[in-house]
Structure 1
């Protein structure tokens, strides 16, 4: 069985559930098109503290999407920081940007939401669709779920201020951007 394309990890799944909640009375007819757009034409330009920006191209037209996300309150950030520090101490050697899946369970048990439900986020799109969220906003959330699957630490970064809750990289790893290509192999 192949893993799901959107939400292969608990971190991405949390974001996927915001567009595909199990409590839906009927399926949203925009979701198949949104998944196709996320798969083929959505480029997340910025995903950082409190917002996501993307460009979704449909029939040569680029729609710009911005989704603003509320940050965790100070107490929540402090509790998340404590849980993250404990989980990272237990799982030394993780690749930079990765988080243990058990941390998602711990955060959920402490009522710390990873993903932002539709009613708590604000999405804007340059399209003319009257329905909100439009297919472009939904595609952006699917693309975000994929990014979070690839780098779970992004789920925490989206909701917290950098000084309050940080996910530290393994000290044995060096970011490629920190290396000087000219001197990497010596003289």
Structure 2
């Protein structure tokens, strides 16, 4: 039976392909455990532009996984911006289909991957679990798929990043209580 917890949108499916590339010729025995770790909240993600740092706690072991994604070229960013409706707050399957029909590749490309575990293999359990956790987050918020590839960041030779609407919500941990109400402290 297929596992539909990850990659149930076309946006997330592109990210599942990091863990499950079509080029694999034999079954990957770590995939079921990696899905379980990601599904049960064992991956804590910290996202900073095209860099992802994941803390994975499994039993008595803890590992830190680092992924760096290749930023989209400036020409691709402009082509994507031409296909996203003005004022779009969410990206639906229709936008993904339109981008694919225009020949724009949205699949992420890893520039670097590293893990602190003792497996010494780029495709360790922790890296796979991080890919699944990212796919889950991208399924929930497709803008993240573009942001992780540097869609909104400024490029060399450009004055500013692509101008997009503000997100509909702000994560509570992103707020600073000392400055939120604009009241001087002390």
Q: Which category of TM-score, normalised to the shorter sequence, fits these structures?
A: 0.7 to 0.9
The equivalent residue for 2:165 is 168
Partner of residue 106 from structure 1, selected from 59, 80, 98: 98
The equivalent residue for 2:139 is 149
| 1:125/1:3 CA distance change after superposition, 3 Å | closer
| 1:111/1:18 CA distance change after superposition, 3 Å | farther
* Count of residues paired in the alignment: 169
In 2, the alpha carbon distance for the partners of 1:137 and 1:38 equals: 11
Shift, 1:24, TM fit: 2.6
Deviations 1:127-182 (A, max 9, x none): 11022221100100000000001111101111124343354248xx675868x998
| 1:176/1:80 CA distance change after superposition, 3 Å | same
The equivalent residue for 2:184 is none
TM, length-normalised to structure 2 = 0.77
The equivalent residue for 1:61 is 61
Once superposed, what is the RMSD of the aligned Cα atoms? 2.9
The equivalent residue for 1:185 is none
Q: Which runs of 5+ in 1 are unaligned?
A: 183-187
In 2, the alpha carbon distance for the partners of 1:44 and 1:19 equals: 17
**Higher relative contact order, structure no. (Cα contacts within 8 Å, ≥ 6 residues apart):** 1
In 2, the alpha carbon distance for the partners of 1:176 and 1:68 equals: 22
| 1:174/1:19 CA distance change after superposition, 3 Å | closer
Bigger share in helix: 1
Partner of residue 138 from structure 1, selected from 124, 128, 132: 128
Q: Does 1:116 align with 2:113?
A: no
Shift, 1:52, TM fit: 1.4
In 2, the alpha carbon distance for the partners of 1:176 and 1:41 equals: 17
TM, length-normalised to structure 1 = 0.77
Q: Is the 8 A contact 1:48 1:154 kept in 2?
A: no
Q: Which runs of 5+ in 2 are unaligned?
A: 154-159, 182-186
Q: Is the 8 A contact 1:42 1:140 kept in 2?
A: no
